A and B are shown apart, each in its own frame.
Chain A
């Protein structure tokens, strides 16, 4: 019997687990840790190093250490936010085919899916070693607001790692599944997922085995990385003032400041002030310098106030979109390392009038949900087997039914049904520069809708169907996705030709568009080529 892995492929950290009838088993790193840094190093000494060991090279050769790849995967390198994120990394990124970002290490060029596939392969191998059997299938989680291109690229990464990606599921949904699985609950939950690189909020209705997302929104460029960068900039300014050298052009110095900023940030989650000095700062002249710092929690909260406020704004918007009020929410689930920041929990408590749930583990719950879904898709798992989040106790790698002092009802086996939603409105370009919406944001997936369009002129034999993403009535105000062309149509009077356009968003959140001339049967079926996504033919080859 093969096992299917659940993988939380994070910006900073990844976690993998399997669900068995006795509990959730986490895949452990070399030192027994459940959390694997999403870091890939290509050290000068040769080879590829992944995970905790790769992190060690950050100081000595920062330009060979690829971290935060999730911020670039499936993205268009020309987008302003990508350009901004590039200022936060010390490795080299260039524009590749289809405007996708390409990592350059020495003379080696790699696509983002290739980078992430190293992390996935590392997890796959660790799992195989730990479980003593091959692992082929996996469920991988992605931020709820990931676009089509980002999802395609993530699947591609799985494929390159030799995994059959059965499904991509949204991170907040996975968390809700881990929380509610096997518990026969009826409640509304708000999942607030604030990690290293992305931010998501989802409102779900849990009704026994059914997990229905009512609305979801977020920002895939908002996370702990941004808080680190904000603080590192302050440190860099101090550095310039005190040591009379601008550290910003120096990769190793900036890396050290970023790491210092992250440590200060985490310290401030437990303490009211952080004081000390960052040493070992190698100045250009060969001298080693140190930077004293003193930051209070209040100062930090003010510095990142714009970001934290934005998370709260989005939370309110999502509640409005779901048509629920804070009072209706039965539980607030905090997911992601950045929810350890006290001001976040305080603001959430203000919004909801109650403290967020304390029992779930913000680092592990997403992988746990992915594992449950993987087990359920391969029919090796059913409800009532003690996979709920609360049963994940901190033994080495195993959360078993026997621990936790609690017996779960071994009732009728019911597989969970996840009703996730479409992350963005999808539409086509119509006459007059307007759009015709086919699929709404927050509509349940998988979903399919068909519309019949007609030609605007006599004898029109060619039709282009421009597809876009966005809520705007005007086409140009949305994000173009690609164009489908129907050619050699029979010459007909305007309005006589009927063209059927179908949009389907599959259960992974990936869009498929089809157009069909109803009479002649001329059919164009195409997978839209999204800018920034790996084109279907290129992987390593395209990047060379």
Chain B
């Protein structure tokens, strides 16, 4: 069988599954280990990867192969994270009880629907309420660079990175009480997460 038709048949098999388990997409036993999963994923990459078929398949067939490969990659990710958390999670994608509910958006009555109820703050809650420009106008420009990077780290959820940046900011501007209180808050948040 040619690589091309092997890939296409494989892809069609993958796409035909409804609500599949990760191991089914990877075509390995339910109790398989990480090594088997990795091997299965690598095999898919060598045969199914859409780049290998770009010039030989029709656009429709290429889309099937791409979708199938993307699903196998998704299954591999899920398998990996399941194995990392020792207990196997309940599958999320079946019945309503297991599924997380989207937050209720519409009002309980049939009245007009507000487009958005929760305003989204710009940055993480650990940042003091002062606006950066007000707080930072007094800072040295070097400290400001670090402070802005700390903000970015916070937005990315990288508390340690934020701590590091804030410490460097304090190094550049030791007199700033603003920076110290910001660091204090981040440190408290880290301590909380460690618990």
Contacts and interface: CB of A to CB of B under 8 A. Distances in A.
Answer whether A and B are interacting partners: yes
Given A80-B132, A447-B73, A478-B157, A454 B99 contact: yes
Contact of B157 (A226, A464, A472): A472
A433 interface: yes
Interface string A470-499: 111001111110010000000000111011
A431 B103 contact: yes
B70 A453 contact: no
B124 interface: yes
Given A440-B81, A507-B50, A446 B73 contact: yes
A461 B108 CA distance: 11
Interface in B74-131: 74, 76-78, 81, 92-94, 96-97, 99-106, 108, 113, 115-116, 118, 120-121, 124-125
B25 to A, nearest CB: 10
Interface in A51-84: 80-81, 84
B152 A221 contact: yes
Contacts of A475: 120
B4 interface: no
A415 B52 contact: yes
A419 B172 CA distance: 41
B35 interface: no
Interface string A239-259: 000000000000000000000
B78 A472 contact: no
Contacts of B67: 448
Interface residues of B, number: 65
A98 interface: no
B164 interface: yes
Interface string A441-481: 00111111111111111001111110000111001111110
A418 B101 contact: no
Contacts of A446: 50, 66, 69-70, 73
Interface of A: 80-81, 84, 207, 210, 212, 219, 221, 226, 230, 233, 306, 310, 313, 376-379, 415, 417-419, 424, 428-433, 436, 439-440, 443-457, 460-465, 470-472, 475-480, 483, 494-496, 498-499, 504, 507
Interface of B: 19, 41-42, 45-46, 49-52, 54-55, 66-67, 69-71, 73-74, 76-78, 81, 92-94, 96-97, 99-106, 108, 113, 115-116, 118, 120-121, 124-125, 132, 141-142, 144-146, 148-149, 151-152, 154-158, 161, 164-165, 168, 171-172
13 contacts: A212-B45, A221-B149, A431-B103, A443-B76, A444-B76, A447-B73, A448-B70, A448-B73, A451-B93, A462-B106, A464-B102, A464-B105, A494-B101
